[in-house]
Amino acid sequence: MRIVKLESFLCNAGLRNYLFLKFHTDEGIVGISEASLEWQEEATQRVLHEFFERRYVIGANPFDVENLCHRMIRDQYQGGPVALTAISGIEIGCWDIIGKSLGQPIYNLIGGIAHREIPAYANGWYGGKAIPAEFAAKAKTVVAKGYTAMKFDPFGTASKNLTKQELSNAIEIVAALGEAVGPEVQLFIEGHGRLSVHSALEVARELEQLPNIGFFEEPVTPDSLDLLKEVKSRTRLRIAAGERVYTLPDFFRFCAMRAADIVQFDVDHIGGILPAKKVAAMAEAQDIFFAPHASVGPVAAQAALHVDISTSNFFMQEAFHEFDVPWRSDFIGGYNPIENGRWKIPTAPGLGIELDDEAMKAHPPIPNNFPSLWDGEWITHFNQNR
């Protein structure tokens, strides 16, 4: 079997664009994938076609996925999220072809079912909310859908050192939300890498007094594992991070340092499904759980799901599906993989979903639409189409 054609489709999803892929083979099997990267979808699309398609994809045997990806990672030379996201898209597409060719869902080919319950934590639900009462009211609607965990950023446009008022506002939001949903619902606090070590520890000391904090995510810049480890070593909270770590050597250092309690690799950015399994194994050896980051489109999220199902140290899977733009599920034929706060176990071969051509055509991309988290635009417009 050989890949004979690669198609890419840029599509809008509110304040993000998604980059979906189709890989056609000489045996008639079409694999689908995704290579979305915030702000950089067009760059990823270009490198896919100008470098990887010509040199590696056309003529490749999708079953040789390990060797193919090893050569792409080695040969692209400069590294970085654009190249690795492109490689991830190719790798995931190969697995979809393999699964379809063998008549098996991908998880059966990479370990089988290790978990029959895949809990989801809600993200994307809090757009436009600014004061504690607004957060609390919206959180109740999330719990009503069956979710037992939710993530949110209470820090407004804060950067590095929080003022006393910014700290007070953030803790009031978290406390109000916790009171609204009750102690059985886990709250995951999103830092977006905003804070200095000093401010992160100030926040952590306040959060430690609350009963339902599940983890504190990216409290400090993702560029420094040493700063992350410092925060982790000085708080009782679980620390989560890793969505902006991309290479196996960096993840090896992350795990060897035990820089966080939960590693949040993004299957769509680290090279695909096999690299995700490798990172999960590194993490397991250090008693670290994984909870994949999945803030882009439904195909990337589905790829993460197959890793979750088949890997023992899985913790929980991020879910935007019910809080994204209304047409998110249209891209995959109307399928919603979430039911009562849990992910459904797919049974169809490959990824278990298909792209809808008409839906992709109906939502052309919008240039430069991803908001800055530091200028207020994201608070006003995040989830504006939801």
In-domain check, residue 358? no
In-domain check, residue 379? no
Same domain, 158 and 306: yes
> Among 103, 130, 164, which residue terminates a domain?
103
Round to whole Å and give the CA distance between 107 and 189: 30
In-domain check, residue 357? no
Same domain, 250 and 306: yes
pLDDT of residue 294 exceeding 60: yes
> Which of 94-103, 347-356, 362-371 bottoms out in mean pLDDT, i.e. has the lowest?
362-371
Q: Read off the pLDDT of each residue in 85-101 and give the average, rounded to a whole number.
A: 98
Ramachandran area for residue 376 (φ above 0: left; ψ -120 to 50: alpha; else beta): left
pLDDT of residue 378 exceeding 70: no
Q: What is the mean pLDDT of the chain?
A: 95
In-domain check, residue 383? no
318-340 pLDDT tens trace: 999 999 999 999 999 999 999 99
Secondary structure class of 324 (helix, strand, coil): coil
Same domain, 207 and 132: yes
In-domain check, residue 168? yes
The pairing of beta strand 317-319 with beta strand 338-339 = unpaired
- pLDDT confidence of residue 380: 63
Query: Which CATH number belongs to the domain containing residue 147 in this structure?
Result: 3.20.20.120
Does residue 363 have an active-site annotation?
no
Query: Which CATH number belongs to the domain containing residue 19 in this structure?
Result: 3.30.390.10
Round to whole Å and give the CA distance between 384 and 386: 6
Same domain, 236 and 304: yes
Does residue 70 have an active-site annotation?
no
Question: Which of 49, 70, 115, 192 is the catalytic position?
Answer: 192
Q: How many CB atoms lie within 10 A of CB 228?
A: 25
Round to whole Å and give the CA distance between 72 and 88: 10
Same domain, 306 and 344: yes
Q: Is 177 exposed, middle or buried (0-12, 13-18, 19+ CB in 10 A)?
A: buried
In-domain check, residue 293? yes
Same domain, 177 and 76: no
Same domain, 212 and 288: yes
Same domain, 91 and 173: no
Q: pLDDT category, 379, cuts 50, 70, 90?
A: low
Question: Which of 24, 49, 198, 293 is the catalytic position?
Answer: 293
165-216 pLDDT tens trace: 999 999 999 999 999 999 999 999 999 999 999 999 999 999 999 999 999 9
> Among 76, 103, 130, which residue terminates a domain?
103
Domain that holds residue 243: 108-351
**Sign of the Cα pseudo-torsion (336, 243, 383, 332, in order):** negative
In-domain check, residue 368? no
208-253 pLDDT tens trace: 999 999 999 999 999 999 999 999 999 999 999 999 999 999 999 9
133-144 pLDDT tens trace: 989 999 999 999
Q: Which of 299, 248, 300 is nearest to 277 (CA)?
A: 248
> Among 71, 103, 135, which residue terminates a domain?
103
Same domain, 246 and 312: yes
- pLDDT confidence of residue 61: 98
Q: Read off the pLDDT of each residue in 59-79 and give the average, rounded to a whole number.
A: 94
Round to whole Å and give the CA distance between 263 and 245: 10
In-domain check, residue 365? no
101-133 pLDDT tens trace: 999 999 999 999 999 999 999 999 987 767 899
Q: What is the largest CA-CA distance in the chain?
A: 63
- pLDDT confidence of residue 369: 73
The reported pTM is 0.96
Q: What angle do CA 95, 99, 105 make, to 5 degrees?
A: 110
Q: Domains in the chain: how many in total? A: 2
Same domain, 20 and 156: no
Same domain, 118 and 237: yes
Q: pLDDT category, 374, cuts 50, 70, 90?
A: confident
Same domain, 199 and 98: no
